[in-house]
Chain A
Amino acid sequence: MIIAVTGLNTAGEPEAGFGVLQCLSAVKASHDQLIGLAYQPLDAGLFHAGLMHRAYVMPPPKTDRMAFLKRITLIKKQKGLDALIPAVDEEMELFIDMEPQLRAAGIATLLPFGKSLRELQSELYRQLGKQKDADEKDEQNDPPVLPPALIKNPVSEQTAPNAAIAPDYFSVAVVADCRSRIVAIASVRKLLISRYGGTWMALTVDNHEFLDIAEEMVRSTAWQGALTIDIARNRQGEQFLSGFHSTFPDWIGLARGAGANLPAVLIHLIQKKKIRGVAQTLPGKVWIRSSIDLVTDLNHFGDISLNGEMTYDQT
């Protein structure tokens, strides 16, 4: 099977595509091929040798949807392409709109419906409203809106002064089938979050605490495909939906390491394979992300820029 994944920008606030490719790379059969779809020739994921067979620099669908469709159809015709996993949250609505054209071209996806996406957005606003009300009630004794628990001062490295009273941040990633049943789940507590919201350290926790919330979300919105739900828990143990992503999270590599390869499950669903039970992560695994520099030379970068594609050595 030939699978394409977007979201290869791993600088600053890494996109999820890198982790999705790592997960798929771990289970791929010898005849499977992984394709990276980048939007910039400097997207750092392009420089990870050994992760993909080929990569393309694509016209971003948000600026030119037709150009994207034209290019992806050409790739399908020339080199083959069976399935596509979008891994950038902001582009999901566009991919939902393009799904009929992708299907007509023979490129399979498992994306939520536009209506599901809008319902989830409404639910988020309802929850944020609830949180605001609770904060206002609490205002006399507690500070109102609290920052993520472990955001650091970049120079002093001291934890934010009000960390002791900040809430805990959890994140739950699921894969739902086309009947809106959860077939894979991974739950983590975020231990370190960057100033811009990227996850740099996370710990898998017991999924049972979050399965009910996730099932309720998936059922009520008739969700299918990947979904990430961010949950904040305050000192009183009250939980609030603090965000959601219609894609896999940036920490998805942890799910594989903890025993549940969610991107592989999504591919099984796309392939219409029968899935028994619910794939679940084990608690107690810590995932730690470090920023590192890869070095290449200008000619290599020039090749990607000029040709818009790159084939990687598989030996």
Chain B
Amino acid sequence: MLQAHVVITGLMATDNPYPGLGIARCLRDAPEFRGRISGFVFDPLSTGAFCEGVFERVFLVPYPAAGAEVLLERIHEIHRADPIDVLIPSLDSEVILYAQIARELASLGIQTLLPPVGSIKMRSKNQLYEFCRGHRFRCPETFMLNNVGEVSARCRDLGGAPFVLKGALSDAAVCHTVEEGEYQYWQLFHQWGYPILMQQYIAGEEIDVIALADKKSQLTGAVVMKKFGLTPKGKAFSGITVEDEKPVQLTRQILKSLKWIGPAECEFLRDEKGRHYLMEINSRFPSWLYLAAAAGQNLPLLTVKLACDMAVRPLTSYQVGKLFVRTVSDALLDVRQFMELTVSGEVRL
């Protein structure tokens, strides 16, 4: 029986949902979890916080941009009133922040399972290529562009079009000519700012691995998913668990090399020759994590246990052919209850 007060962040759950609600649903589904679940939101309009029967309390916390000190102060205040046992941040922008204050949190008695700050930086988009080269992991050749004029020169370096341009935080565009690349450069710049990355185009199928590493950077669980359905806007709304040992092995080696601790997602492309290219590492659970739990690997439950230094047996198998479909769940509140979060900084649900 696991009794802990767990706090989860990243609760915006609209058309491109964050994983927070999924993490909480996994814990609620675990028969051995008998603890309480609260949510941290920096925006009162975080829809997932209000999903029926999931969170007991929701607290308003400062935006990540406010910095670690302000955040720590707010956590201290909440912790005094309602002691927290485990905290699971689930946004990339928050993971680094919480990693910076992990020691202070631990001294308060709040456990986390987070990677060292250096490991988080190493998996960032602009350092991933160097990391892969240094550790001999296959990865598309990548350049950081300093100005739009470099599109043409780097296109030659990559052996010509097509190539891929990637935004600093999100979005990517496959470009078939230099002119298209220059146009997309400005599109990505206006949306996401610097840096813009230029990458070799690899044709292949996308394979995603959800993973969890323990405090010794050993793989404790991993599930492989292939996207199954895309919305008209190109977002995956369905995916299926598949058996594929190669990306699991790669994930194991990558997380070990990164000295990673905690949840992660490794995104690979497998080309027609069966070679796996590491495309991206997310420093948190992916939004589709509920699929992994339904297939037999409840990784949020393991995260809580590992954070609390409980003994955990690594999970090595899962059900293949499990399919997730993204849909919606609606909740109804009285406006006074809804406003309470904004007015007093917390709400009981």
Residue numbers of A with Cβ under 8 A of B are: 10-14, 18-19, 22, 42, 44-45, 47-48, 150, 152, 154-158, 191-192, 194-196, 198, 200-201, 203, 253-254, 257-258, 284-301
Complex alpha-carbon distance, A191 and B48, angstroms = 15
Q: Does B97 contact A (CB under 8 A)?
A: no
**Pairwise interchain contact A42-B325, C-beta atoms closer than 8 A:** yes
Interface size bracket, B side? 35 or more
A12, A293, A294, A297: residue with the most chain B Cβ atoms closer than 10 Å: A293
Chain A positions within 8 Å of B21 at CB level: 290-292
Question: Contacts A13-B15, A290-B51 hold; do A192 and B328 have CB atoms under 8 A apart?
Answer: no
A-B contact pairs, 8 of them (CB 8 A): A10-B328, A22-B330, A286-B332, A288-B47, A288-B332, A291-B13, A291-B15, A291-B48
With A47-B325, A295-B290 known to touch, is A12 a contact of B237 (CB < 8 Å)? Answer: yes
Contacts of B51 on A, CB cut-off 8 Å?
288, 290, 292
Q: How far is the CB of B32 from chain A (nearest CB, A)?
A: 20
Complex contacts, B334 vs chain A, CB 8 Å: 284-286
Given contacts A152-B12, A290-B51, contact A157 B235 (CB under 8 A): no
Given known A-B contacts A287-B330, A291-B328, A292-B328, A297 and B323 have beta carbons under 8 A apart: yes
Q: Contacts A194-B15, A292-B13, A292-B21 hold; do A201 and B45 have CB atoms under 8 A apart? A: yes
Q: Which of A11, A296, A301 contacts B231 (CB 8 A)?
A: A11
CB-based contact B330/A293 at 8 Å? no
Q: How far is the CA of A253 from the CA of B332 in the complex (A)?
A: 9
Interchain CA distance A12-B232 in the complex, whole Å? 9
Q: Would you list which residues of chain B between 43 and 85 have a CB under 8 Å from chain A?
A: 43, 45, 47-48, 50-51, 63, 65
Is there contact, CB below 8 Å, between B328 and A285? no
B326 near A293: Cβ-Cβ < 8 Å: yes
- How far does the Cβ of B90 sit from chain A's closest Cβ, in whole Å? 13
Does any Cβ of A come within 8 Å of B321's Cβ?
yes
A201 touches B327 (CB 8 A): no
A285-B333, A295-B290 given as contacts; is B325 within 8 A of A192 (CB)? no
A125 CB to closest chain B CB (Å) equals: 25
Chain B, residue nearest A48 (CB): B327
A258 to chain B minimum Cβ distance, whole angstroms, is 8
B327 CB contact (under 8 Å) in A11, A22, A195: A11
B20 CB to nearest chain A CB (Å) = 10
Instruction: Say how far B67's CB is from chain A's closest CB, in angstroms.
Output: 15
CB-contacts of B135-174 with A (<8 A): 169-170
Chain B: CB-nearest residue to A42:
B229
Q: How far is the CB of A198 from chain B (nearest CB, A)?
A: 6
Give 3 nearest A-B pairs by CB, closest first: A11-B237, A295-B294, A44-B327
Question: With a CB–CB cut-off of 8 A, which chain B residues contact A11?
Answer: 229, 231, 237-238, 325-327
Binary CB contact string for chain B from 291 to 325 against chain A (1 if under 8 A, 0 otherwise) = 10011000000000000000000000001011111
Q: Are B327 and A10 in contact (CB under 8 A)?
A: yes
Residues of B within 8 A of A292 (CB): 13, 21-22, 25, 51, 290, 326-329
CB atoms of A296 and B323 under 8 A apart: yes
Question: Is B131 part of the contact surface with A, judged by Cβ < 8 Å?
Answer: no
In the assembled complex, the CB of B133 is this many whole angstroms from the nearest CB of chain A, namely 27
B231 → chain A, closest Cβ, in Å?
A: 4
- Which A residues lie within 8 Å of B238 (CB)? 11, 42, 44
- Contact check, B13 vs A191: say whether CB atoms are below 8 A apart: no
B290 nearest CB neighbor, chain A only: A293
Cβ B15 vs Cβ A297 within 8 A: no
- Residues of chain B within 8 A (CB-CB) of A287 are 330-332
Interface presence of B190 (CB below 8 A): no
Contact B48–A12 (Cβ < 8 Å)? no
